[in-house]
Amino acid sequence: MKPEQVLEMGKEKGAKVVDIRFMDYPGVWQHFTVPIKELTLSSFEEGFGFDGSSIRGWQPIHASDMLVVPDAPTAKMDPFFEAPTLVLIGNIVDPITLEPYSRDPRYIAQKAEAYLKRTGIGDTAYIGPEAEFFIFDDVRFRSTANSSFYEVDSIEGVWNSSREEDPNLGYKPRHKEGYFPVPPADKFQDLRTEMLLTLESLGIDVECQHHEVATAGQAEIDMQFKPLLQMADQLMWFKYVLKNVAHNNCHTVTFMPKPLFGDNGSGMHTHISIWKDGQPLFAGDKYAGVSQMALYAIGGILKHCRALCAFTNPTTNSYKRLVPGFEAPVNLAYSSRNRSAAIRIPMYSASPKAKRIEFRTPDPSCNGYLAFSAMLMAVIDGIENQTDPGESLDKDIYGLPPEELANIPSAPGSLEEALAALKDDHGFLLKGDVFTQDAIDMWIKYKQEKEVNDVKLRPHPHEFFLYYDI
């Protein structure tokens, strides 16, 4: 869509205002709204000014002025606002140099796509994330100097099997038995369908929706694979739509990876493939029907996985899910069909177009622009350096004897470990100026100071249970 078409679209849809959206560095959408008359052809070149010092991980106070320039092809009508609202995702620009901002996650994704083309390896990286989430009925939490607690609740929660509900009708999925019971055990079929239909009304192709493994409303809605930047944009719409549909129905959605103890966490298994001139390059006659290029791509992800986790699993809570011996794929191995491996080669279809690799370690708390870009850079690095992924592991990894399991490398055990790995291993991200040293340094600094240290300094409620009577 061109700028002229966006203006015409606004007229046809009766838009009264324009919502300009962009994301902060950690990955949360930000926005401001202007009257529709303020959007002109020049807006797509000159942009709109805003205070960059108020955005997490961005500008210092003495250099706060920034521009956000709307990107015409991103135009959509918001499905929730009362006034007809045209939405445009913007790119961040320095107002003095007019250069793209190095810490703008969307710019990093644009550079990753451009770098792939420059390498000659391929012209399109297709990304297909499977973002899991929880639908809760109630959430409360507090963290102060002298108190800390959280509590979530759900009509589906198995812990409510004895609750007075006037009447309690039962049908609450037991722990790890939420995949795929029909209603009345599944109480969110209609809600998920509303989410699906809202996404499709925005032009976002959806493949399916279903309940997930955990009790208490864990769910998954899968989007059809798209080019990297388009999918990163769609992931922002995805989270926005799901949260607002839930909120409008008196529920709440979280993409926090591990909100419950004793049940499955939420992952974001991410499918990756590279194409060139309309042809898939990951299909071949090697293991599980993939090409040698795909095996090298796997080698790149496995080699850099510990550093990748700083972007693909970027919260302290991420590592409550990535615990060895439980359901999450922490062991750095690859396999066909084996879902306990960090990388799986799906075997649903023999079509060359369906051949891709599935990186199972990521979770949906990530910033999609950064996570997808980092994955692609690891894939490119593996292909360029012909990185051998080693032998496939087709056994049940969690059933291996300790002496054999000890030979399989593992994902980081904490966000602090992942950030340390990124500090030591980020040269592959700097190629083509996709990630800058400044962007990586700020990511490490922000995460260490604002998240890792903040969590480390606070007593945990369970520590009172364990230690108060010592």
269 classed as catalytic: yes
Q: Which residues have a Cβ under 8 Å from the Cβ of 254 and sit 6 or more positions away? A: 133, 134, 136, 139
* Residue of 177, 339, 384, 394 with catalytic role: 339
In the residue annotation, 344 being an active-site residue is answered as no
Single out the catalytic residue among 51, 65, 441, 463.
Answer: 51
- Is residue 356 annotated as part of the catalytic site, yes or no? no
- The one catalytic residue in 103, 192, 251, 269 is 269
CA quadruple 135, 228, 107, 91: dihedral sign: negative
Q: Which residues contact 100 (CB under 8 A, 6 or more apart)?
A: 91, 92, 93, 94, 107, 110
> Would you call 220 a catalytic residue per the annotation?
yes
Q: Which residues of 432-468 are buried (b: 16+ CB within 10 A; e: fewer)?
A: eebbbeebbebbbebbbeebbeebeeeeeeeeeeeee
387 burial level (CB within 10 Å; 0-12, 13-18, 19+)? buried
**Known active-site residue 358:** yes
Is residue 360 annotated as part of the catalytic site, yes or no?
Answer: yes
- Catalytic annotation, pick one of 104, 358, 381, 416: 358
Q: How far apart are CA 444 and CA 450, in angstroms?
A: 10
Residues 6+ apart with CB under 8 A from 147: none
* 339 is known as an active-site residue: yes
Strands 17-23 and 85-93: parallel
Q: Which of 104, 212, 233, 451 is catalytic?
A: 212
DSSP string spanning 439-453? HHHHHHHHHIIIIIH
Question: 78, 137, 156, 220: which one is catalytic?
Answer: 220
Q: Which of the residues 130, 137, 381, 416 is marked catalytic?
A: 130
- Comparing CA positions, the residue from 360, 345, 262 lying closest to residue 309 is 360
* Distance of alpha carbon 181 from the chain centroid: 26
Q: Are strands 76-77 and 85-93 parallel, antiparallel or unpaired?
A: antiparallel
Name the active-site residue from 19, 132, 222, 451. Answer: 132
Structure tokens given for 79: 């499905």
* Catalytically annotated residues: 51, 130, 132, 212, 220, 269, 339, 358, 360
